[in-house]
Amino acid sequence: MAAVRTLGLVLRSVEVFETSLVVTLFTRELGKVAALAKGARRLKSPLQGGLDLLGVSDIVLLHKASEALDLITEAAPRERFASLRRDLAALYAGYYISELLSDLTDLNDPHPRLFDAAVVTLRHLDDPTLRARRVLRFELACLRELGLMPALDDCAHCGLEVVARGDKVAFGLATGGVLCPECRPGQPHVATLSGRTLEAIRVLASPGNTWRDLDPSAATLAPVRTTLGNVISHLLGRRPRLLPYLGV
């Protein structure tokens, strides 16, 4: 049983026994872990304040390779995201990010870039004009990092380049992205996207800052919200609980 020091984002916390917590963390070094914080609810616990929901803390864990819970031995607050306390829409977005990390990642499967993307997104949820685009970008980063990114250029089935026909593109939720006209028939769960919606998803998925210039109107972002919500719902086998609370 090795002690590991890592940054961790607190995703969930459940009270157990008289004074303890079982905390689900998304850590930078170890990915998602579930850990017991003994006595964390005692008034003078050294863990107090280091296990707040949606906070980032310096965590020391006794990490167990088996199915057993890890043990949290230190938790020192590193970063709190002030906008989550002031702004309900930002808080909902924060909980949505937490839900995706919790439900799309596996235990003990580290994704440091996804951790960094989550922290950067949480840090900047205060600006309502950029918030929806930031959350959509995080969702795409999440899909890419977990190897679940839908195809946006070449047919998800045969690999040939897909050209919009009459500004309509078939997008397979089960087959993982755009489909050419030859491959579309017979595929389950196919949505029809406009060329504009597909282009908006491409812009949001691109590195750099071009996403900031994307038209932020609901006419552009609402179909993107619907499409990514459907992709993620398909992966989870249910609608994310926080999805209805996200605006565009």
Q: Report the nearest approach of Zn ion to the CB of residue 175 (Å).
A: 9
If binding is defined by CB under 5 A, does position 152 make contact with Zn ion?
Answer: no
Q: How far is the CB of 21 from Zn ion (least distance, A)?
A: 50
Any contact of residue 14 with Zn ion (CB under 5 A)? no
Closest C-alpha to 171, from 131, 200, 130, 141: 200
Distance CA 212, CA 124 (A): 13
- Given the rule CB under 5 A, which of 172-180, 185-193, 210-218, 222-230 is the region that contacts Zn ion? 172-180
Residue 165 beta carbon to Zn ion: minimum distance, rounded to whole angstroms: 13
User: According to DSSP H, which parts of 49-194 are helical?
Assistant: 83-86, 88-104, 112-123, 128-145
Residue 59 interacts with Zn ion (CB under 5 A): yes or no: no
| Contacting range for Zn ion; rule: CB under 5 A; set: 39-47, 178-186, 193-201, 229-237 | 178-186
CB atoms within 10 A of CB 95: 19
Question: Can you tell me the distance from the alpha carbon of 148 to that of 180, in angstroms, rounded to the nearest whole number?
Answer: 19
In angstroms, the Cα distances linking 216 to 129, 160, 226, 232, 247 are 7, 31, 15, 22, 12
> Distance (Å, rounded) from C-alpha 206 to C-alpha 51?
34
Q: Which region, judged by CB under 5 A, interacts with Zn ion, from 14-22, 33-41, 104-112, 150-158?
A: 150-158
82 is an interface residue for Zn ion by CB under 5 A: no
> Strands 70-79, 31-37: parallel, antiparallel or unpaired by DSSP?
parallel
Q: How many CB atoms lie within 10 A of CB 219?
A: 11
Q: Return the number of the residue (8 or 177) whose C-beta is nearest Zn ion.
A: 177
Task: Figure out which of the listed residues 3, 158, 174, 236 binds Zn ion, where binding follows CB under 5 A.
Answer: 158
Q: Would you say 194 and 223 are in contact if contact means Cβ atoms under 8 Å apart?
A: yes
Figure out which of the listed residues 142, 183, 198, 246 binds Zn ion, where binding follows CB under 5 A: 183
Residue positions counted in the chain: 248
180 near Zn ion, rule: CB under 5 A:
yes
> Residue count at the site for Zn ion (CB under 5 A)?
5
Spatial CA neighbour of 140 closest among 53, 79, 214, 30: 214
- Residue with Cβ nearer Zn ion (155 or 232): 155
Interacting span for Zn ion (CB under 5 A) from 65-73, 81-89, 147-155, 227-235 = 147-155
Q: Does residue 63 bind Zn ion (CB under 5 A)?
A: no
- Here the tokens at position 90 are 């930002």
The answer to whether residue 157 forms part of the interface with Zn ion (CB under 5 A) is yes
Residues that bind Zn ion (CB under 5 A): 155, 157-158, 180, 183
